[in-house]
């Protein structure tokens, strides 16, 4: 690895006064180099920025280039430079103008947009300016436009834009075209007058009229400008003017027909770049049929050539073609070739082929394509298997000619790529089987076949256990399918499976036992023995099932009701299809979070299907309820409340309809996955159902909880908001809030009484988040300024919103961010505490003994010096307490106090009213009783002394992981979506026993 020692060396050099311009330049470049190699360079930014104002070109140039590489648009230093930059832009020196325009074009932010836009526009349109300045002005304006769309909202801008396209200089034209693309993509109507100009430009290029030699590339007139122009044309919905349309089609026809394969690679690439863009434009314009089939023919040729780039692009463009026209039939003719591409040595090409096959699949060719995918699955590389199996599953479901084929496909998938089959896939097959009576014996027979194979994947065991448990009795008359034999086959697998599968097996045993008519004593004793064995299992889920089934088995008639066959599922949209959209981007990114997000709607369906158990007539609106869920509720573990809610529903329903509890059982089998639980809650509800039958009022009256439970299905934050807040109080960057749709990260810098936070709002979806609103509710002592938060966050984009904080005076109040957004029909509103807390304005400072004691003495008595005996302190060893204080930026000075049980700390507090203020702290602990201590605080400001004392006290008393009572509205109840201790985590259980 590279030796990082030069870093401090350069740092020393760069900050030396009196460097010659050459040396300064040299060190700034070295700094950039180090940064480029991936080392954090947090020094020298000022030096780079200061070079911008150097009088000579070479220094200035370095300053501009390095600044635009090192800083981002929100950096404070940029503000220092804004005046110099403006002077350079409006100055007379062309070269300076270019440098300044380029930097603003690369990193200019909103402030630049506001102050510079008119000047940049003037340059772009000026007739006296040389092309080399104007081309940069065009792209600079593009940047400013993106930062603030109002900069081009001037009257007549569209006409000027059209004039710009008459430009002869190709450099200016290239840049202007980029600007135009951005403008028309937002609002094509305003720029219709540019359309004929674009066509004219294209014609000029295609006919090679008046193109300087310098701009032809291997004989092709600027391929990049051609591509850009055709891209711009794709943003106009249609071309109405017949003359323009005809001209354009002539040009396109020429490109389509006139592009030949040549030997020179570069020429070939360049001409094909133009050709592919022309193809895209033809597709967009929905040309005559003849031209379309010409395009498909070309693409058909491309996907079979040897040159891999062309093959890749051929497949990619064919996929696009599927979307825009009904060229399906013609494309289908190439199916065989596409399937061959699925076996290409290049993964990029295989991916394209898979995408295309997926897109072109319909009822007529589904069987072929899916079988092809299945075959390929066993040889496909691991990175693709998950996507492949998911797509095969979806196609099988969507286009299945008959359901038995569908079952076959899914079982094959599980057999061949069990590791890559997500739970959704096998849940779906279970749903289908349950809902189709004809399918049940077939599926049962089929899974039995698979189970008899020597090595069976665990997912196969799961699905088999489920299906055999439910439907094996339908096979009872076939040879080898007696309950006992089925039990033996299943039971063989038990030693090989993990704890998540054992519960399903136990359920299957219980069901088999129930279906055994007449009762088989031997089987019964065998199964009872298993239940007995697992009654003491360490896994709570398994243990509970074993206990309950054992109890149930002895119930006789009641057993029949509870273990009856599952009722039909309500029809629901496949969650797989939604999932596929996510996997487009990157299969490796498939995370549990997303799955959860997609599961949610179906879960909601299950729950809302149930009549409200507590008699509430309508779902209560979201707002008040979430507030009603007071801290006491929050601290109860979520898991229990879920169960209570479920049991409540179940309990009351059992009396009405004995079928229902089992309905819930299945609902649960699919439901809890949405909340990350193992298929666990299932039996819990059953258990409670049992206790109801026995008359034991085991289930707590959960009526108040049920509606909360219901609305929890809207959006659940991931992780504990309070914990995240506390973590952020101690560090400067991290995640503030996360739910399935959005992640809010925070990054903070603190300098004296100023703070600069950046909120990172990241949309995790492939759909935009709309109506995004962020409102700051600052306490009186903080001045906060949140930059504009965009109304919409585009799919998978991250938006940064800087937030300026000024601390006016000491206080422990906390700022609150009222954040809301809309996703689909879900309106989400959260109130988040911001970690702009007292300790952020502290700066640890060591104070030597000879200074400490005079200071300590001079601050005598209240209100500057306060003393308090604190009781109920969380007991912790002294070093831990020292660490805690250190983490709050209170610097411990060991050795100042002769008593080793005491701690002495010092720090500086910054605020606008107090400026820098030294604070001294002494904590005396009692080794005999760690729950109490005496704390003495001294500073030059009475409020500060008091606030800091209270602050430290809070930290010492409260347990940081538990949410303290906050002045702000309590975090939404969903904060607890994930139970803190998974009930089936053996380690957690043990810990619980020991404490």
Given the rule CB under 8 A, which residues bind another protein? 29, 32-33, 35-40, 57-58, 61-62, 65, 69, 72-73, 95, 98, 102, 105-107, 132, 135-136, 139-140, 142-143, 170-171, 174-175, 178, 212, 214-215, 217, 222-225, 227-228, 231, 266, 269-270, 272-273, 276-277, 308-309, 311-313, 345-346, 348-349, 351, 585-586, 589, 796
Q: How far is the CB of 25 from another protein (least distance, A)?
A: 8
Distance CA(438)–CA(648), nearest Å, equals 34
User: Which pair of tokens denotes residue 10?
Assistant: 């350069």
> 482 is written with which tokens?
């007696």
What's the closest the beta carbon of residue 312 comes to another protein, in angstroms?
4
| Separation between Cα atoms, residue 193 and residue 853, nearest integer Å | 79
Q: Is 26 annotated as a binding residue?
A: yes
Check: CB of residue 494 under 8 Å from CB of residue 527: no
Least separation in angstroms between CB 837 and another protein = 24
Q: How far is the CB of 40 from another protein (least distance, A)?
A: 5
The CB-of-584 to another protein minimum distance in angstroms stands at 10
- For the stretch 518-521, contacts whose Cβ atoms lie closer than 8 Å and that sit 24 or more positions apart, written own/partner, are 520/483, 520/484
Name the residue nearer to another protein (CB basis): 233 or 566. Answer: 233
Total Cβ atoms within 10 A of residue 539 = 22
Is residue 28 part of an annotated ligand binding site?
Answer: yes
Nearer to another protein, 151 or 553 (CB): 151
27 is in an annotated binding site: yes
Q: Which is nearer to another protein, 589 or 657 (CB)?
A: 589
772 annotated to bind ligand: no
For 734: left if phi > 0, alpha if psi spans -120 to 50, otherwise beta; the answer is left
Q: Which residues of 434-445 are buried (b: 16+ CB within 10 A; e: fewer)?
A: bbbeebbbbbbb
Q: Give SS3 for 869.
A: strand
Q: Find the shortest distance in angstroms from Cβ 46 to another protein.
A: 18
The 10 Å CB-count burial string (b at 16+, else e) for 374-409 is bebbeebeeebbbbbbbbbbbbbbebbeebebbbbb
Of residues 387 and 424, the one with the C-beta less far from another protein: 387
Concatenated DSSP letters for 509-530?
HHHHHHH-SS--HHHHHHHHHH
CB nearer to another protein: pick between 62 and 527: 62
Nearer to another protein by C-beta: 449 or 589?
589
Task: Yes or no: say if 532 and 543 are a contact pair by the CB < 8 Å rule.
Answer: no
Strands 733-738 and 220-221: unpaired
- Min dist CB 144 to another protein, Å, is 10
Least CB distance to another protein at residue 733 (A): 9
Element (H, E) at 987: helix 986-994
Q: Cβ 970 to another protein, closest distance in Å?
A: 33
Output the smallest distance, CB 380 to another protein, in A: 16
Burial group, residue 629, by CB count within 10 angstroms (0-12, 13-18, 19+): buried
Q: What tokens appear for 554 in the block?
A: 């002895």
Nearest residue (CB) to another protein, 102 versus 244: 102
Q: How far is the CB of 38 from another protein (least distance, A)?
A: 5
For another protein, the closer CB: 54 or 808: 54
Q: Who's near 233: CB < 8 A, 6+ residues apart?
A: 195, 198, 199, 202, 248, 281, 284
Per DSSP, what are the bridge partners of residue 935?
868, 923
Residue 797 beta carbon to another protein: minimum distance, rounded to whole angstroms = 9
Structure tokens at 191: 């720029």
Give the C-alpha separation, 874 to 884, whole Å: 12
Please provide the DSSP assignment of 360-393 as one string: H--TTTHHHHHHHHHHHHTTS-HHHHHHHHHHHH
Helix (H) / strand (E) containing 942 = helix 942-957
Residue 11 assigned ligand-binding role: no
CA end-to-end span of the chain, whole Å?
A: 47
Other C-beta atoms closer than 10 Å to the C-beta of 465 total 27
Q: Give min distance, CB of 70 to another protein, in A.
A: 10
If the CB atoms of residues 265 and 616 are measured against another protein, the closer one turns out to be 265
Nearer to another protein, 174 or 839 (CB): 174
H helices within 108-169, ranges in order? Answer: 110-125, 131-147, 157-164
- Which residue in 221, 228, 159, 144 sits closest to 191, CA to CA? 159
**297: helix, strand or coil:** helix
CB of 135 to another protein, least distance (A): 6
Q: How far is the CB of 387 from another protein (least distance, A)?
A: 12
The smaller minimum CB distance to another protein, of residues 269 and 404, is found at 269
Task: Give the separation between CA 51 and CA 61, rounded to whole angstroms.
Answer: 8
Choice between 267 and 398, CB closer to another protein:
267
H or E stretch including 736?
strand 733-738
Q: Which is nearer to another protein, 11 or 224 (CB)?
A: 224
With respect to another protein, which residue has the nearer C-beta, 28 or 920? 28
Q: 286, 295 in Cβ contact below 8 A?
A: no
- On whether 22 is known to bind a ligand per the annotation, the reply is yes
Look at residue 277 and give its three-state secondary structure: helix
Element (DSSP H or E) covering residue 47: helix 45-51
Considering only CA atoms, which of 799, 392, 390, 739 is closest in space to residue 590?
A: 390
Comparison of 214 and 571: residue with beta carbon closer to another protein = 214
Q: Which two tokens stand for residue 221?
A: 């007139």
Tokens of 66: 């390095």
Annotation: binding site: 22, 26-30
């Amino acid at each position: 690895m590279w030796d990082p020692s030069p870093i401090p060396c350069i740092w020393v050099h760069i900050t030396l006064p009196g460097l010659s311009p050459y040396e300064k330049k040299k060190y700034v470049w070295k700094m950039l180099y180090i940064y480029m190699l991936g080392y954090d360079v947090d020094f020298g930014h000022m030096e780079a920025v200061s070079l911008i104002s150097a009088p000579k070109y070479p220094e200035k140039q370095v300053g501009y280039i390095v600044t635009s590489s090192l800083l981002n648009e929100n950096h404070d230093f940029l503000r220092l430079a804004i005046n110099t930059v403006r002077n350079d832009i409006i100055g007379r020196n062309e070269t300076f103008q270019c440098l300044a325009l380029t930097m603003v074009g690369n990193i200019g932010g909103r402030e630049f947009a506001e102050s510079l836009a008119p000047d940049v526009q003037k340059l772009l349109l000026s007739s006296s300016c040389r092309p080399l300045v104007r081309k940069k002005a065009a792209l600079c304006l593009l940047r400013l436009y993106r930062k603030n769309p109002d900069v081009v909202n001037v009257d007549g801008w569209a006409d000027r834009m059209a004039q710009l396209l008459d430009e002869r200089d190709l450099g200016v034209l290239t840049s202007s075209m980029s600007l135009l693309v951005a403008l028309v993509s937002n609002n094509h109507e305003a720029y219709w007058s540019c359309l004929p100009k674009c066509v004219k430009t294209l014609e000029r290029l295609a006919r090679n009229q008046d193109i300087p030699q310098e701009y032809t590339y291997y004989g092709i007139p600027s391929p990049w400008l051609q591509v850009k122009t055709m891209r711009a044309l794709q943003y106009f919905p249609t071309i109405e003017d017949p003359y323009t349309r005809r001209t354009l089609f002539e040009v396109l026809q020429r490109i389509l027909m006139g592009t030949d394969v040549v030997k020179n690679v570069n020429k070939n690439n360049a001409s094909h770049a133009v050709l592919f863009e022309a193809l895209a434009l033809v597709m967009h314009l929905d040309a005559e049929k003849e031209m379309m089939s010409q395009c498909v023919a070309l693409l058909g040729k491309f996907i079979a050539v040897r040159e891999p780039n062309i093959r890749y692009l051929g497949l990619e463009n064919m996929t696009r073609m599927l979307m825009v026209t009904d060229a399906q039939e013609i494309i289908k003719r190439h199916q065989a070739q596409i399937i061959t591409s699925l076996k290409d040595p290049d993964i990029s090409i295989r991916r394209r082929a898979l995408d295309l096959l997926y897109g072109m699949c319909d009822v007529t060719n589904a069987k072929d394509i899916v079988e092809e995918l299945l075959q390929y699955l066993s040889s496909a590389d691991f990175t693709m298997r998950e996507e492949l199996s998911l797509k095969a599953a979806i196609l099988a479901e969507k286009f299945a000619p008959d359901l038995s084929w569908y079952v076959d496909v899914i079982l094959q998938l599980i057999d061949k790529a069990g590791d890559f089959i997500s739970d959704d896939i096998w849940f779906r097959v279970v749903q289908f089987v349950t809902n189709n009576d004809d399918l049940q014996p077939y599926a049962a027979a089929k899974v039995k076949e698979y189970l008899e194979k020597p090595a069976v994947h665990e997912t196969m065991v799961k699905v088999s256990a489920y299906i055999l448990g439910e439907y094996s009795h339908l096979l009872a008359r076939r040879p080898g399918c007696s309950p006992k034999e089925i039990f033996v086959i299943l039971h063989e697998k038990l030693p090989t499976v993990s704890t998540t599968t054992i519960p399903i097996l136990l359920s299957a045993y219980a069901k088999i036992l129930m279906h055994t008519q007449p009762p088989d004593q031997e089987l019964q004793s065998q199964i009872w023995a298993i239940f007995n064995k697992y009654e003491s299992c360490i896994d709570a889920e398994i243990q509970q099932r074993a206990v309950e089934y054992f109890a149930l088995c002895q119930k006789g008639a009641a057993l029949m009701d509870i273990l009856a066959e599952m009722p039909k599922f309500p029809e629901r949209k496949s969650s797989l299809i939604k999932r596929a959209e996510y996997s487009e981007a990157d299969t490796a990114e498939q995370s549990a979070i997303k799955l959860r997000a997609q599961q949610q709607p179906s879960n909601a369906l299950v729950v809302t299907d149930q009549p409200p158990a507590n008699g509430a007539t309508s779902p209560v609106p979201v707002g008040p309820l979430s507030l009603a869920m007071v801290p006491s509720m929050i601290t109860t573990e979520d898991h229990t409340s879920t169960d209570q809610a479920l049991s409540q529903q179940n309990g009351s329903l059992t009396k009405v309809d004995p079928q229902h509890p089992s309905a819930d059982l299945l609902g649960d089998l699919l439901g809890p996955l949405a909340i990350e639980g193992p298929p666990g809650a299932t039996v819990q509800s059953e258990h409670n159902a049992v206790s109801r039958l026995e008359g034991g009022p085991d289930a707590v009256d959960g009526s108040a909880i049920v509606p909360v439970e219901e609305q929890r299905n809207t959006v659940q934050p991931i992780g504990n908001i309070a914990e995240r807040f506390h973590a952020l109080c101690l560090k400067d960057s991290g995640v503030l809030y996360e739910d399935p749709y959005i992640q809010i990260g925070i990054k903070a810098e603190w300098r004296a009484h100023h703070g600069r936070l950046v909120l990172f709002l990241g949309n995790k979806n492939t759909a935009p988040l709309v109506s995004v609103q962020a409102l700051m509710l600052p306490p009186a002592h903080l001045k906060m300024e949140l930059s504009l938060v965009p109304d919409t966050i585009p799919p998978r984009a991250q938006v940064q919103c800087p937030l300026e904080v000024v601390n006016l005076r000491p206080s422990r109040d906390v700022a609150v961010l009222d954040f809301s957004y809309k996703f689909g029909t879900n309106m989400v509103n959260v109130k988040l505490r911001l970690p702009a807390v007292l300790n952020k304005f502290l700066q640890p400072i060591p104070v030597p003994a000879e200074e400490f004691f005079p200071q300590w003495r001079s601050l005598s008595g209240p209100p500057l010096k306060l003393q308090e005996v604190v009781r109920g302190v969380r007991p912790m060893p002294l070093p831990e307490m020292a660490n805690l204080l250190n983490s709050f930026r209170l610097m411990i000075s060991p050795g100042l106090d002769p008593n080793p049980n005491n701690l002495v700390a010092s720090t500086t507090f910054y605020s606008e009213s107090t400026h820098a203020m030294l604070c001294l702290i002494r904590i005396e602990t009692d080794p005999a009783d760690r729950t109490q201590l005496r704390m003495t605080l001294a500073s030059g400001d009475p409020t500060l002394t008091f606030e800091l004392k209270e602050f430290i006290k809070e930290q010492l008393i409260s347990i940081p992981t538990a949410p303290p009572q906050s002045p702000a509205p309590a975090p939404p109840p969903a904060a607890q979506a994930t139970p803190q201790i998974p009930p089936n985590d053996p380690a957690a259980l043990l810990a619980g026993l020991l404490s």
